[in-house]
Amino acid sequence: MRIACLGGGPAGLYFAISMKLRDPSHEVDLFERNRADDTFGWGVVFSDQTVENLMANDPASGATIRDEFAHWDDIDVHIHGECIRSSGHGFIGIGRKRLLNILQERARELGVNLHFEHEASADLDDWKGYDLVIAADGANSRIRTRYEEHFGVDIQTRRNKFFWFGTNKVFDAFTFAFEETEAGWIWAHAYRFDDPGSGPGQAGLSTFIVEMDPETWEKLGLDRMDQPEAIALCERIFAQYLDGHSLMSNAAHLKGPEAWLQFRRIICDSWSYRNLILLGDAAHTAHFSIGSGTKLALEDAIKLAEVLNRPGLSRDKALEEYQAERNLEVLKLQNSARNSTEWFETLGRYLHFEPIQFAYSLLTRSQRVSHENLRLRDKPWLEGVERWFQSMAVGTPVNDPAPPMFAPYRLREMELSNRVVVSPMAMYSAQDGVPNDFHLVHYGTRAQGGAGLVYTEMTCVSPEGRITPGCTGMYAPEHVAAWKRIVDFVHGHGKAKCCLQLGHSGPKGSTKVGWEGYDVPLESGNWPVMAASDVPWSPDNQIPIPMTRADMDAVRDQFVAAVEMGLEAGFDMVELHAAHGYLLSSFITPLHNKRTDEYGGSLENRLRFPLEVFRAMRAAWPADKPMSVRISANDWMGELGVTPDEAVEIARAFWEEGADLIDVSAGQTWAECKPIYGRMFQTPFADQIRNEARVSTMAVGNIYETDHVNSILAAGRADLVALARPHLVDPMWTLRAAAQQDYRGVHVPPPYLGGMSQLARNMAREAELKA
């Protein structure tokens, strides 16, 4: 084939090399607008896996690159006058200019035609003599922009400002330095990529990226400074880290504030059009804070060259496989990069953390590094985190490390033995609202399984407040007796506490039990439903009756009566369910609340009735016992519904009325919503609410591993962690987690001690074999 590569960065060069390696008869022309020695980056960081891929693809260039890497293991986090160092991270880096030189030499050796200082046309018609045109011209790709309607380009410009400096200060650790100025916080990402040599001019080099939010950038006057002034300011701010070394810019072509960039996240639905193929940053970008842009570009190049040279594979099929495989890897990294980007963009949430927790939060920000992964990297450091967490939980210094999930937690006078919660899960197994033997076994078993707190399913405050005919209730004497039997069993056979979740179905009521179809109306025996407004849950559901003031009074009193019954039944805690599109949620979300009176419109008005109900419940519940509220922190409908920012205000409003915990869920408030699922997908909302409103939160939503629980807690993203489906199939999830982590401090019901001992031994043996 005759191929034109537009762009002389790592992506284009390595693709050209990979094609010539597979078939020397390919004629490859590479066009680069800049000179051969021009580069606008500093250092490039690689993983060991990327090096293995390079060695497998081209041992010659791979060995040269490998032999010139700078190596380091440590990360330093400087915050509030302290330096927290962790080790075992295994970084390797090389100068971008040196990498390009190595790839240029290898490309020439293989017969690639390199054309520098050549402005390539962005019009495909000018490349008619080529079988393939490869757009490897970076995030600002001109040819991709020319044909962007064919690629489905989605570009999101992130908010923070950054400047990519270099310095001759050689850092011995990957350094994150956070400094507070009179204008706000500013921080640096610094790492070496060229170790000092013995020859003249070989002083060593490091990348030094300075980042801040745009408000700080403007207050510092950087929007009005030329480059020398900006460099001088940054040198003063970070003087203690630079040790007298200066900062260097290789962006002299950009004037004044133009040198400060904002990261552009790029996604393309399609990576090819006609004979044009996107490669590397032209097709996708990942934020510099996870250092994977060059990795992705090189691995794109390997895959594309492989499929284009595979015998019997048509070009269309080759491009289909190229995008399918690479896009999966890109999406994984982009998700991690998004998490990392958002951490730095919301830095203010975490500045109240103690330095050790701040460092842990930073290290785990992308979710690529987990609690146990940190243990593998630096066990003594992680055990220091665990000792600190346990010490904070008990209020005195602790010598023995223990997983964060097994730290106690106090809500008013209720002491939980650990942070694991059995989430409320509808069982649809009651008769006329009465829990039965199924519920006794269900809740009793899970309480014996080691969790610190067990929630009931949403228990309804009236017959017409049930979701389905199978829902439990708390509105009749027989309900109190049945629940008391369960609570007494839990208290008598373990350490778990019990929380009664109370709710009213509102517009989502009078439907079939879950396994017959969620939110599907009953075929017969329906009861009327009510809500804030006459907005049905879906076209198939009943149109609810808008509530009158008399209806509100009646429902409020029903919640109060249920609270009093809960006290009689012996519950340790009560939760108000104000989420998921049920009655109180129908007031909170503007999607359902269309009222024009004092209960509709502004958030203050929409919260008026839910807060009234909670206030009355709190007054009826003993002052020494805790209460929580479940909210939907995101309607997944953009600005049309409740947003995470608004959820902070919702949480704060309930907290001020006496809530002790915000149970942070999301969605299920609008039938047409489009949630973004993934592991721990709702945890960011618990994190935001906890650390912006400064309230206690519980995370829930696709949390299923011990690593998830420990990472969430140690990073200060939530105070408790609720697991639903894992507890459905494994009532002993917490005991199993204790055995897996070789933790012996969890309470085990005496009849089960033998089984627990065997489980712990077997898991320890399995761990040794894997090691």
In b/e form, how buried is each residue of 685-700, taking b as 16+ CB within 10 angstroms? bbbbbbbbbebbbbbb
CA distances from 76 to 83, 171, 232, 241 (A): 6, 10, 24, 11
Quick count: other Cβ atoms within 10 Å of Cβ 2?
Answer: 12
The CA distance from 105 to 35, in Å, is: 14
Closest CA to 500 of 405, 587, 564: 564
Residue where the block lists tokens 């989430």: 423
Given CA atoms 732, 733, 735, 736 in this order, what sign does their dihedral have?
A: positive
> What's the gap between Cα 457 and its chain centre?
27
**Cα–Cα distance between 593 and 544 in angstroms, integer?**
12
Please say whether the beta carbons of 581 and 527 come within 8 A: no
How distant, in Å, are the alpha carbons of 288, 560, 561, 575, 601 from that of 553? Answer: 55, 11, 12, 20, 21
Q: Name the nearest CA neighbour of 2 among 278, 308, 299.
A: 308
Q: Which two tokens stand for residue 206?
A: 């490091």
Question: Maximum distance among all alpha carbons in the chain?
Answer: 90
d(CA 681, CA 685): 9
Q: Given the DSSP bridges, would you call strands 247-248 and 205-212 parallel, antiparallel or unpaired?
A: unpaired
Cα separation of 47 and 299, whole Å? Answer: 12
Distance between CA atoms of 189 and 171, rounded to whole angstroms?
Answer: 11
Structure token digits, residue 523: 């075929």
How many angstroms from the chain centroid is the CA of residue 520?
32
Answer for the pair 666, 685: CB distance below 8 angstroms, yes or no.
yes
Which residue, 518, 523, 516, is CA-closest to 581? Answer: 518
CA 511 vs CA 192, 540, 670, 750: distances in Å: 62, 11, 16, 42
Give CA–CA dist 87/89, Å, rounded.
Answer: 6
Question: Residue 216 in contact with residue 53, Cβ under 8 Å?
Answer: no
Beta carbons within 10 angstroms of residue 278's beta carbon = 28
Contact 49, 90 (CB under 8 A): no
428 is catalytic: no
- Strand-strand pairing, 459-460 and 420-422: unpaired
What's phi and psi for 230, nearest 5 deg? -65, -40
Q: Which of 431, 684, 463 is nearest to 554 (CA)?
A: 463
Q: Which of 14, 322, 582, 599 is catalytic?
A: 582
For residue 464 the two structure tokens come to 């017409």
Q: Which segments within 108-183 are labelled E, that is strand?
A: 113-115, 132-135, 153-157, 161-167, 174-181
Q: Which residues are tagged catalytic?
A: 582
